[in-house]
């Protein structure tokens, strides 16, 4: 794809993953991955005060894609990586 083909809120493919464009810079595209994400849930443990109990799990909950701000990390695609992206069907 070319830089001018990206639209905020539109999906595209890159590296075998589906992405959603969240911002367009002068030379870069910022996007979130729409795949399954690993999350960490922390809760206080009554048996060990001050030591949180952390559980890891994966989620495909679509609410994580609502933003900005986004609950997941945004990734920057530079001029070189933009070339390997394609439009999502």
Distance CA 86, CA 17 (A): 11
Would you state the pLDDT for residue 11?
97
Would you state the pLDDT for residue 53?
86
Whole-model pTM: value is 0.81
Number of domains in the chain: 1
Would you state the pLDDT for residue 52?
84
**In terms of residue numbers, what domain contains 31?**
3-87
DSSP 83: T
Q: What is the mean pLDDT of each run of 10 residues along the chain (89 residues)?
A: 97 96 98 91 82 88 90 94 95
């Amino acid at each position: 794809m070319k830089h001018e083909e990206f639209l905020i809120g539109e999906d595209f493919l890159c590296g075998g993953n589906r992405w959603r464009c969240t911002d367009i810079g002068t030379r870069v595209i910022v996007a979130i991955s729409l795949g399954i994400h690993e999350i960490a849930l922390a809760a206080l443990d009554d048996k060990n005060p001050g030591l949180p109990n952390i559980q890891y799990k994966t989620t495909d909950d679509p609410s994580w894609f609502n933003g900005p701000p986004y609950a997941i990390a945004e990734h920057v695609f530079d001029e070189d990586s933009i070339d390997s992206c394609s439009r999502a069907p």
